[in-house]
Amino acid sequence: MLDDPLSLARLQFAFTAATHYMFVALTLGLAPYILFNQLTAVRKRDGARMRAVRFWGGLYVLNYAMGVLSGLVMELQLALNWSGLSDMFGYAFGAPLAVETMGAFFVESTFLGLWIFGWDRMGRWAHWACFLVVTVTAYASAYWVLVANGFLKWPAGFRIEDGVAVLDSPWSLMGNPSTLMAFGHVATSALLVGGALVCAVSAAHLRRGNDPDRMFHRGVRHGTAVLLLAVMPVVTVGGAQFVLYGQEPPTSGMTYSAEEIAAIESEGASSAVEAAGMAGDGVMMGSWMLICIVAGTAGLVWLMNRLDRWRWVHWMLMALPVLPYAASIGGWTARETERQPWVVRHHLTTADAMSDLSPAMATASFAFFTAAFAVLAAATFWLLVRFARRGPEGGPLAPPRPETEPEDGAQVPARTL
C-alpha cells in the first residue's frame, strides 16, 4: 500500500472524514436537547434547569470547537489530495461547501459566541434565541455538506463546458434525492448520538450518587426518551436510500459512453472495497439492533421507576455511546464504497480526481493527517470525559463561584467584568 498513492489517499480521507463526523454527529445531537431544555428553563424561570443547560452547553462548546478545527484540516486535505475534483467540478461541488462555510463561520459561530458570553448580560429570551439560531444553522450546515455529497452520488443540475461542470439548475442540486434522504438519516441518527451521551453522562453521575438539582435524574430520562423516539425513524429513513441503489443518475453531457462506463466499473470492481461496504452495513445494522435493545430495556426500567437506582442499567448506559458512533461510521462506509470506482458517478473516476502525488508525498500526507486527527480525537475524548466527570460546577460554562468575605463569612457573588 505504501507504493500506491491512490490507496493511501483514499484511506486517509476515510479516516479523517470518519473522525470529523464524530464531532458533527454530537453537535447535531446535543443542540436540540440544549435548545428545548433552555426553553423550559426560560419559560419556568427555573434556575436548576438553567444550570443543567450550562453543563450540557459546556460539553457542546468543547465538541464544537474541535469540530471546527477538524473541518478546517479536512478542507485543506481535500484541496491537497483531490485537485482533480475541484478542477472539473469545483463550481458544482464547491458551491454548497462555500455556502456551508459562510453559514458555519459567519452565522453559527457569531451567535454561539453571543450565547457563550451572553449569560446574565442579555434578556433570557434573546439569549435563548441565540442558541435557536445556532441549532438551525448547525442543521443547515449539515444539509449543505450533504448537497455536495449527494451530488457525487447522484450528479444533476449541471452541464459540461470545455471539460468543466457548470451549474444550470441550482434547484436540481439542492433537491437531489440522495441529499434529501441522507439529510433525514443524518438528522435522526445524530439524535441517537446526543441521547446516548446524555444517558451515559447522567448514568455515570447517578452511579456515583452525584445528582445536584436532580439534573441527572432528568437527564437519564430525557436521553432515554430521545433514543426511543429516534431509533425507528433512523432505520426507516436510512432504508429509503436503497431505492437509489442500482439506478442510473440523470445524465448531463456524459463524460463517458455507456461502454466506457461498463468497462471502468468492471475494472474498478474491488473485492476489498465491496468487503468494506458489506462490513460497514453489517456494523450499522448490528449497532442499531443493540441500540434498540438498550433503549427498550431502559424504557422498561423507567416504567418501573428504577432508572436512577439500578446500577447495572447505569453501566449499560455508560457504554451506550459507542453504538451510535459505530453505526454512523459503518453507514458512511457503506454509502461511500457503493459509489466506487467513481468520485462523481459516471463523470469522474477516483483515480482521475486525485492530485499528482508521488508515493513519498502520499505517505507523508497520510502520516501527517492521520497523526493530527488521532491526536485531535484523543484530546477531545479526554476533555469531554474530564469535564463530564466534573459535573455542573466544573464545566467550561459553569457560573463563577462565590467569594467569601473574611469579616462575617457571608458569601457574595463574584464580580464579573
The string of DSSP letters for 33-50 reads: HHHHHHHHHHHHT-HHHH
Phi, psi at 242, each rounded to 5°: -70, -15
pLDDT at residue 412 tops 80: no
132-182 confidence digits (pLDDT tens): 999 999 999 999 999 999 999 888 888 888 888 888 888 988 999 999 999
For residue 266, what pLDDT band results from cuts at 50, 70 and 90? confident
H or E segment to which residue 94 belongs: helix 83-102
321-343 confidence digits (pLDDT tens): 999 999 999 998 888 888 888 89
Amino acid 254: pLDDT:
63
SS3 255: coil
6-25 confidence digits (pLDDT tens): 989 999 998 998 899 999 99
Q: How far is CA 358 from CA 5, 8, 79, 110, in A?
A: 7, 11, 16, 41
For residue 248, what pLDDT band results from cuts at 50, 70 and 90? confident
Beta carbons of 6 and 195 less than 8 angstroms apart = no
pLDDT at residue 410 tops 60: no
Amino acid 210: pLDDT:
87
- Bridge-based pairing of strands 403-404 and 348-349 is unpaired
Beta carbons of 411 and 403 less than 8 angstroms apart = yes
Beta carbons of 250 and 156 less than 8 angstroms apart = yes
Residue 257's CB is within 10 A of a number of other CB atoms, namely 9
Q: Between 204 and 263, whose confidence is greater? A: 204
Provide the grid cell at 56: 450540557
Amino acid 160: pLDDT:
86
Q: Where are the domains of the chain?
A: 17-256+268-354+370-396
